Amino acid sequence: MKQPKIIIVANRLPVRVEIKNEEWIYHSSEGGLATGLGSIYKDGNNIWIGWPGAYIENEKIQHIIRQDFLKQNLYPVMLSEYEIHHYYDGFSNDTLWPLFHYFPSYASYGRKDWEVYQKVNRKFAKAVTEIADPGDTIWIQDYQLMLVPQMIREAMPDVSIGFFQHIPFPSYEVFRLIPWRDQLLKGLLGADLIGFHTFDDVRHFMSAATRIVHAPSNANELILDDERSVIVDAFPMGIDYDKYRDNVFNPKTKRNETKLHQLMGDRKLMISIDRLDYSKGIPQRLKAYELFLRKHPEWKERVIFIQLVVPSRDQVKQYASLKEEINRLVSEINAKHGTLSWQPIHYFYRSFPLEMLSALYASADIALVTPLRDGMNLVCKEYIASRIDKTGVLILSEMAGASKELYEALVINPTNEDAVAEAIYEALTMPEEEQVRRMEALQHTVAKFNIHHWIKNFMDKLTEVKLKQEQLSTRMLTETFKDTLHLRYKEAGRRLIFLDYDGTLVNFTPDPLKAIPDNDLKALLQELYSDPHNKIVLISGRKKETLESWVGDMPIDIIAEHGAWLREDGRPWVIAKDLNTDWKEEFIPMLKQFEMRTPGSFIEEKDYSLAWHYRKVDKGLGELRAKEMTGNMKYAAANLGLQLQEGNKVIEIKSAMINKGNAAREWLKQYPASFILAIGDDYTDEDTFKAMPEEAVTIKVGSGISAATYFLKNPEEVRSFLRKLIGSSEDNNQNEEKNTALIKN
Ligand code: GDG
């Protein structure tokens, strides 16, 4: 058998090809991701799929380059200029980038861009399926490839897929602006594990996902229609710490450092390094620096600010005007505050070799990192790693993902010019002892949570998620086991079958009174109860009146209101225990308050319980109120011997003595049987499962933690299982016909 491999998929390959006059050269990327993932893709059969960074039209050259890349475990996806224009510059950077960084007014929604984005994502997915085998692990990187997970999933349902997004995931209020938001989200949900830098991104993603695909969720898990669970989690990315530290000692870095010290003299050095992007907050930072010079003129001539801006996308309108604005601000500040011997800002619009960057990090007293929005920001971590003597101060924007880990930085709001100006002053005047104390802690964090840790964390989690899915699938009732159960059923002399109603025999409906049993279900129940060896018990939280009107004409047993009311074989209803209901007077006004404050919610009064339903309430609000309600009422309830039971979009208050388990125990005592079956879907059915003897067959509908031994996916599966169990040969259509005939008669 082939050794399973890891496939990395990213927009760019870690090696770029440059073509000049039918000649080509390869350049390796020094980016954090490329170095970090180097340990993975270069190993064994593993491979990295991506665009090689050049338009290669000549097929012969394409072929040679492809062969060269394959030797290095790289698999190129060839893209045309037209495709890059629409997929990368267009949809990725003109639609997703501005929206995800909270600049909706910069976003354009070009149909062509979207079409090509889909087409290119398809190309990437195809490249994956060409080389992937079952059992492989696929790790997709970033927002350019959001549709790829689902495209692969469709072709290879069992493969393990991870997705990591390097930029923020915005609040639902922003995400919903995208005309194709549903497709993007569903595209991502093809993955088994979706990673972001911070918990806020996770929260935003969960909120968008539960609203758009209406998937049930627990904390950071989503359960999809096919019962596949997707985990969403935060994996803050780190840097190659040792590489940055070692680079400080590189002779080239040392030479650059000497030159920098000549420029600085005895002045303090402050640096900022960014790609040209409106999300980096460069103009705001320059203005804050100018404010600092005005507020603290004693610092004039005593500080130098070096701002490096790495060129990017400057053909695009917004970037071109940003570049102009930076030029203007730099000249204005230098003209206003500069002297013959001092220039307040040294501004460079180009990229520098790593040894220059390292020299800057190693020499700077302050790193000013003030993006308006940043997924993580690695520059600040690189600065920390390069501080060999542990001095230096980091001023960090609270809008950068990194601020969620780097607590010892001076954390500021980048739009608050006063706060940034004051932070510059605080950093310049910070005693060395305090600098060292803070820097030591920062270095500890950055060294520990480095790029290797990030990769390991993500990969371990992906393995764990897959394992969990497999364990769940082994508890899914297989066709073979259904056959075994059918034999056991046939052989049994007496059978006792407990069936929950909502979510088990019928699907949920927004209006609970609309969940009337259909003809197919009636026919199935009839087949079940017609067998004299069977005792069928419908066990539900619903009111007895409702159940009576729906199935009252059937000779089955009914446990209503979670066991408060019992009816055997069509005889009159009896109360399980004589229960006090005086408490209702106290609780109804409290529930009414919640009902008044929560549009779409309603109270249901049952004989021995009160239920507050929120299935129609705006997503999120219902859950919030439910938490508030349990918090407010739990002590009052406990004092009166009541319990607050959380079901599916409902909170029920009832006597602690009453539950489905206690009721089911009575039946178990009275009707000894050689075949016992219990099926249910929610929290209240767990009591039934726990009451069952070991030999009983217990089945939970849905997924999640359960005391039941087996799982089925939905009411449709339950019905088909019951049919198989009793050996019914009839399919749905035949049942429909038979029932129509019954009704007519
Ligand atoms: C995205 C997210 C997230 C910069 N100038 C030069 C140069 N650099 C290197 C830095 C650093 C990298 O570029 C920039 O990384 P950032 O993280 O700061 O920002 P983005 O490029 O926007 O990256 C970001 C990141 O993905 C990772 O997930 O942190 O939030 O936006 O490594 O050192 N390198 C060289 N010369 C330069 O002039 N050699």
148-152, 517-521, 573-577: least confident range: 573-577
Ligand 1 atom at minimum distance from 353 CA: 39
For residue 173, pLDDT over 70 is answered with yes
pLDDT surpassing 90 at residue 402: yes
Task: Tell me what pLDDT residue 252 has.
Answer: 97
How far is it, in rounded angstroms, from Cα 83 to Cα 523? 57
CA distance 320 to 315: 6
Q: Tell me which residue has its CA closest to atom 23 in ligand 1.
A: 377
Q: What is the pLDDT of residues 624-649, one digit of tens each?
A: 899 999 998 988 898 888 999 888 88
Question: Would you say the pTM of this structure is higher than 0.85?
Answer: no
What is the CA(378)–ligand 1 centre distance, in A?
6
Q: Annotated catalytic sites, by residue?
A: 500
Ligand 1 closest atom vs CA 197: 28
Highest mean pLDDT among 228-237, 495-504, 722-731: 495-504
DSSP string, 670-711: HS--SEEEEEE-STTHHHHHHHS-TTSEEEEES-SS-SSSEE
The pLDDT value recorded for residue 314 is: 72
| H helical segments located in 143-239 | 148-155, 172-175, 181-188, 199-212
CA of 33 to the centre of ligand 1 (A): 10
Ligand 1 atom 15 nearest Cα: 378
pLDDT for res 735: 43
Is-contact 175 102, C-beta < 8 A? no
State the DSSP string of 376-411. Answer: S-SHHHHHHHT-TTS--EEEEETTBGGGGT-TTSEE
Pocket test for ligand 1, best of 92, 272, 273 (most atoms within 8 A of CB): 273
Average pLDDT of the chain is 92
Q: How far is the CA of 118 from the centre of ligand 1 (A)?
A: 27
Atom of ligand 1 nearest to the CA of 277: 22
Which residues' Cβ are closer than 6 Å to ligand 1?
A: 30, 32, 166-167, 237, 273, 275, 308, 310, 351-352, 354, 357, 374-379, 382
Which residue has a Cα nearest atom 20 of ligand 1?
Answer: 377
List the residue whose alpha carbon is closest to atom 28 of ligand 1: 166
Q: Could you tell me which of 206, 180, 183 has the C-alpha nearest to residue 194? A: 206
Compute the distance from residue 314 Cα to the ligand 1 centre, in Å.
Answer: 17
Contact 213, 224 (CB under 8 A): yes
Largest CA distance in the chain: 106
Please classify residue 574 by burial: count the beta carbons closer than 10 Å to its beta carbon, then call 0-12 exposed, 13-18 middle and 19+ buried: exposed
pLDDT at 738: 39
User: Average pLDDT, stretch 252-257?
Assistant: 97
**15-28 tens-digit pLDDT:** 999 988 778 999 98
The pLDDT confidence band at residue 729, using thresholds 50, 70 and 90, is low
How many angstroms does the Cα of residue 148 sit away from the middle of ligand 1? 24
Per-residue burial over 433-458, b = 16 or more CB atoms within 10 Å of its CB, e = otherwise: eebeebbeebbebbbebbbebbbebb
Q: Are 685 and 648 in contact (CB under 8 A)?
A: no
Distance (Å, whole) CA 244 – CA 222: 38
Helix (H, G, I), strand (E, B) or coil at 455: helix
Angle, CA 98 vertex, CA 174 and CA 152 arms, to 5°: 80
What's the pLDDT score for residue 732? 45
Q: How many CB atoms lie within 10 A of CB 304?
A: 21
Distance CA 586, CA 524 (A): 43
Residue whose tokens read 């005693």: 431
What's the rounded mean pLDDT across residues 436-452? Answer: 96
CB contact at 8 A, 189 and 213: yes
Distance CA 640, CA 552 (A): 33
Comparing 94 with 38, which gets the higher pLDDT? 94
pLDDT digits (tens, 9 = 90+) for 43-62: 889 999 999 999 998 888 99
Q: Which helix (H) or strand (E) holds 631?
A: helix 621-639
How many A from CA of 428 to the centre of ligand 1?
26
How many angstroms separate the alpha carbon of residue 35 from the centre of ligand 1? 13
Would the pLDDT of 730 be above 80?
Answer: no
pLDDT on residue 223: 75
pLDDT of residue 576: 84
For 409-428, the pLDDT digits (tens) are 999 999 999 999 999 999 99
**From CA 580, how far away is CA 446, in angstroms rounded?**
61
Q: Quick one: what percent of the chain has pLDDT higher than 70? A: 97
Q: How far is the CA of 380 from the centre of ligand 1 (A)?
A: 10
Q: What is the mean pLDDT of residues 659-669?
A: 94
Residue 241 CA to residue 400 CA, distance in Å, equals 19
Render pLDDT for 532-582 as a digit per residue (tens, 0 to 9).
999 999 999 999 999 999 999 999 999 999 999 999 988 899 988 777 888
Distance 275 CA to ligand 1 centre (A): 7
C-alpha distances out from residue 322 to 285, 309, 344, Å = 13, 11, 20
Query: Among 351, 354, 378, 458, which is best to mutate for testing ligand 1, by the most ligand atoms less than 8 A from CB?
Result: 378
Atom of ligand 1 at shortest range from CA of 379: 18
Cα–Cα distance, 8 to 139 (Å, whole number): 5
Cα distances from 360 to residues 281, 301, 321, 355, in angstroms, run 20, 19, 27, 9
pLDDT at 227 (0 to 100): 67
Ligand 1 atom nearest to 378, measured from its CA: 17
Sign of CA dihedral 236, 237, 243, 247: negative
Does residue 734 carry a pLDDT above 50? no
Q: Report the first-to-last Cα separation within the chain, whole angstroms.
A: 62
Query: What is the predicted pLDDT for the residue at 3?
Result: 83
What residue owns the CA closest to ligand 1's atom 36?
Answer: 352
